[in-house]
């Protein structure tokens, strides 16, 4: 399916696509200045250390991925969504949910494990676009901070604090995350205008539900109750992973 089909929901996806294009330009200019001033960014082709993180998106964003996937990828994404729901149902805390997502639910099925690249790079969501590391990939791996000794953790914190561009707490580049805020705002506004509701949640779950005509029919009518029931009937409803308001 291409995004030009009658079910493309282009009124909600177009503002997000424009936001992506604008972000790429702004982030590229910011990165140019940062590296000129001696800043380092360790993200690059073939690195996928953060592709096992949970990802929250708007349904507007997820629909862009829904339209890009082939049937085999769509099945893999649905299986991943079901694993995320199972994790959410039994996790005793947010921390455990994140840890188990990274270690047990595992890497995003859209990742090409042979090349280490995203197989749907043009359709990847905001979180995948705005996460940049000022430290080598080993610091992005699951459990890296927990594995450090106290002394190493203290050194890590000192190093983060003196690295320009971080928020002083973690080694990710904070201004590049802030630059993406207009994409979130545009998605919220477009969903509200088009459907009268906003739908947010887990990336793989919403990417799966975005291909369900009944679910999308309920969303398009602004019928959150019917949409929830449809998701629930498919075993894809969890209040932490599907938010409608």
149: left (phi over 0), alpha (psi -120 to 50) or beta: beta
Rounded to the nearest whole angstrom, what is the least distance from the CB of residue 155 to ligand SF4 in the complex? 29
Binding segment (CB under 6 A) for ligand SF4, from list 80-88, 104-112, 211-219, 229-237: 104-112
- Is 105 among the residues that bind ligand SF4 (CB under 6 A)? no
Compute the C-alpha angle 56/170/179, nearest 5°.
55
Q: Which long-range contacts (CB under 8 A, 24 or more apart) does 159-162 make?
A: 159/135, 160/135
Site track for ligand SF4 across 60-99, x = CB under 6 A: ----------------------------------------
* Residues paired with residue 44 on neighbouring β-strands, in sequence order: none
Rounded to the nearest whole angstrom, what is the least distance from the CB of residue 177 to ligand SF4 in the complex? 15
Intra-chain end-to-end CA distance of the chain, in Å: 28
Rounded to the nearest whole angstrom, what is the least distance from the CB of residue 124 to ligand SF4 in the complex? 4
State the Cα torsion 158-153-127-113 to the nearest 10°. 130
Residue 200, phi then psi, degrees to nearest 5? -130, 160
CB of 137 or CB of 148, closer to ligand SF4: 137
Rounded to the nearest whole angstrom, what is the least distance from the CB of residue 47 to ligand SF4 in the complex? 10
Q: How many alpha carbons lie under 13 Å from residue 239 in its C-beta half-sphere?
A: 1
Residue 58, phi then psi, degrees to nearest 5? -90, 160
Task: Please state, in angstroms and rounded to a whole number, the distance separating the CA atoms of residues 30 and 176.
Answer: 8
Binding segment (CB under 6 A) for ligand SF4, from list 105-113, 173-181, 218-226, 237-245: 105-113
Question: Which residue carries 């929250």 as its tokens?
Answer: 56
Task: Please state, in angstroms and rounded to a whole number, the distance separating the CA atoms of residues 108 and 54.
Answer: 9
Binding test (CB under 6 A) with ligand SF4, winner from 31, 88, 108, 186: 108
Binding test (CB under 6 A) with ligand SF4, winner from 51, 74, 191, 237: 51
Rounded to the nearest whole angstrom, what is the least distance from the CB of residue 53 to ligand SF4 in the complex? 7
- Is 102 among the residues that bind ligand SF4 (CB under 6 A)? no
Site track for ligand SF4 across 118-147, x = CB under 6 A: x-----x---x-------------------
Binding stretches for ligand SF4 (CB under 6 A)? 51, 108, 110-111, 118, 124, 128
């Amino acid at each position: 399916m291409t995004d030009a089909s009658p079910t493309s929901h282009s009124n909600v996806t177009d503002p997000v696509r424009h936001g992506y294009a604008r972000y790429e330009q702004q982030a590229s200019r910011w990165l140019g200045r940062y590296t000129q001033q001696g800043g380092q960014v360790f993200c690059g082709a073939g690195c996928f250390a953060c592709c096992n993180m949970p990802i929250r998106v708007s349904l507007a964003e997820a629909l862009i991925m829904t339209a890009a996937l082939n049937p085999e990828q769509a099945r893999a994404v649905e299986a991943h969504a079901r694993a995320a729901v199972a994790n959410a149902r039994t996790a005793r805390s947010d921390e455990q949910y994140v840890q188990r997502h990274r270690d047990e639910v595992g890497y995003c099925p859209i990742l090409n494990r042979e090349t280490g690249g995203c197989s749907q790079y043009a359709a990847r969501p905001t979180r995948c676009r705005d996460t940049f590391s000022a430290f080598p990939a080993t610091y992005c791996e699951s459990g890296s901070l927990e594995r450090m000794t106290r002394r190493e953790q203290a050194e890590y914190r000192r190093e983060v604090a003196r690295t320009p561009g971080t928020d002083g707490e973690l080694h990710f580049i904070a201004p590049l995350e802030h630059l993406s805020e207009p994409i979130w705002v545009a998605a919220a506004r477009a969903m509200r205008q088009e459907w009268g509701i906003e739908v947010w949640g887990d990336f793989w779950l919403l990417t799966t539900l975005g291909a369900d005509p009944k679910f999308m029919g309920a969303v398009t009518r602004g019928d959150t109750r019917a949409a929830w029931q449809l998701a629930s009937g498919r075993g894809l409803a969890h209040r932490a992973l599907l938010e409608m308001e």
